[in-house]
Chain A
Amino acid sequence: MHVADTAAVAWWVWPIALFVVTFLLGVVAVVAGIGGGVLFVPIVAGFFPFHLDFVRGAGLLLALSGTLAAGPVLLRSGMANLRLVMPFALSGSIASLAGAMVGLSAPANLVQTALGIVVIAVALLIWRVRPGRNTGIEESDPLGAVLRLVGKFDDPASGGRVDWRTNHTRTGLLVFAVIGFLGGVFGLGAGFANVPALNLLMGAPLKVAVGSSGLIISIVNSSAAWVYLNSGAVLPVIVVPSILGIMMGSRIGAGLLRTVSAETVRRLIIVIMLLAGTRALLRGLEIWN
């Protein structure tokens, strides 16, 4: 359907369609181990009639609200570590603020084209990069030592206590600033990038990286979300069904974790992202509106 024709469709069709799509995104995102926030913007911007400004505002709030529910459990269990979260969330949220302002100031076609390129790059990143389980850092770098980026948690899977520490703190701060900026510009949740940064670059154990990444998203996206809220770029009729859909889908997805092949779903997500990224690219270049 051409976008111009969508105004003829009854208004209530779209919130219901959003709920269904975000429910499915919630299911596959959990099974594949990535946040739903990175899927929402390219898919909804590509295949729904909403302007990209409103989709990005919704994407930021969707990603952050999804992490709020899990945050307390992750903090209490030690899977999310506040010492690890806070310096990188600060770096990311300052950059995210700048990204949101750039994103709202730039022409929509330019943002849409860049979104297409970023989403295709993210799909390739998910395809190529596989986080490691055991990192075994034995010595912190000087800044990591000052920030005391060390911790421990009880791992039921290994049946023991895992002591960990990180390094490459300065590079990590820079990487999180870049991730935050992109998140602000495009309204993306950045679990796809946070986890490899914490795990592969800095050496945090995978479980701590996943848990801490969620909390980082909740802080980083908050600063950009306020820029969109204050600009009037958040429409409840788009945001609320999406939040409810992805939350319910995530619950179902968590239940399916043991029965569905994560690798199959991961491949499916890569294909979806390549399609959505190509669609955003073509729409931005005004080849396929």
Chain B
Amino acid sequence: MELKPDEAQDQRVQDAYARWLDGIAKAGFAATLAALLAYLSGALPPFVVLADLPALWRLPVAQYLAVTGSPTGWAWLRLLDKGDYLSLLAVASFATASLLCCLRILPVLLSHRDRTYALIAAAQATVLLLAASGILNRYL
């Protein structure tokens, strides 16, 4: 199919987004599977003992955190030697994918002088960064 200049530019943006999404998703799934095996097999000891979980996972999150001493925000990055938090890192990579893809297409949109969509991509990245920063969680 022959594309008009606008369509060719749109396709380049889509391709750039698709390439990064593909790479992040594949890496995320592989990491999730590997981390799960390390966690459930006991190769990496968990922060919360697996056998204790049935008494804990029915508690509201605030109570769960108080009983287990589990961290909030980004403090869990200090616990990556624990199987449960290494698995959390792998799962968090899925929530990072859209942010990275928006940042990836930003320079492509600017090079096409597509200011409206560059603004939308920048605003989207800002919203996702705000969410990931944990700043809003202080108001909960």
Contact = CB atoms under 8 A, between A and B. Distances in A.
Given A97-B130, A236-B87, A240-B36, A64 B95 contact: yes
Contacts of A147: 116-117
A121 interface: no
Interface in B1-48: 1, 6-7, 10, 13-15, 17-19, 21-22, 24-25, 28-29, 32-33, 35-36, 39-40
A231 B29 contact: no
A87 B18 contact: no
B54 A6 contact: yes
- Range for the number of chain A residues in contact with chain B: 35 or more
A226 B129 CA distance: 9
A233 interface: yes
A76 B15 contact: yes
Nearest to B94: A65
Contacts of A105: 140
Interface in A209-239: 218-219, 221-227, 229-239
Interface stretch (A48-56, A133-141, A194-202, A261-269): A48-56
B115 to A, nearest CB: 11
Interface stretch (A24-32, A88-96, A123-131, A272-280): A88-96
A72 B18 contact: yes
Given A83-B10, A223-B131, A230-B137, A104 B61 contact: yes
Contacts, number: 199
Nearest to A85: B17
Contacts of A83: 10, 117
A3 B102 CA distance: 43
B14 A75 contact: yes
Given A226-B95, A231-B61, A86 B50 contact: no
A232 B70 contact: yes
B25 A236 contact: no
B80 interface: no
B36 A236 contact: yes
10 contacts: A50-B57, A53-B60, A93-B128, A104-B140, A148-B6, A222-B98, A222-B99, A224-B131, A237-B57, A244-B36
B contact face: mostly helix, strand, loop, or mixed:
helix
A contact face: mostly helix, strand, loop, or mixed:
helix
A110 B51 CA distance: 30
A3 B14 CA distance: 47
Contacts of A101: 136, 139-140
Interface in B66-81: 70-74
A270 interface: no
Interface string B88-99: 101110111111
Nearest to B54: A7
A69 interface: yes
A108 B60 contact: yes
A110 B71 CA distance: 26
Interface string A58-73: 0001001100110110
B136 A68 contact: no
B103 interface: no
Nearest to B22: A72
Interface string A148-173: 10011010000001000000000000
Q: Which 5 residue pairs across A and B have the least CB separation, nearest first?
A: A236-B87, A226-B131, A72-B22, A68-B25, A75-B18
B69 to A, nearest CB: 11
B68 to A, nearest CB: 9
Given A226-B134, A227-B137, A237-B50, 8 more contacts: A11-B51, A76-B14, A83-B10, A87-B120, A222-B128, A236-B87, A237-B53, A240-B32
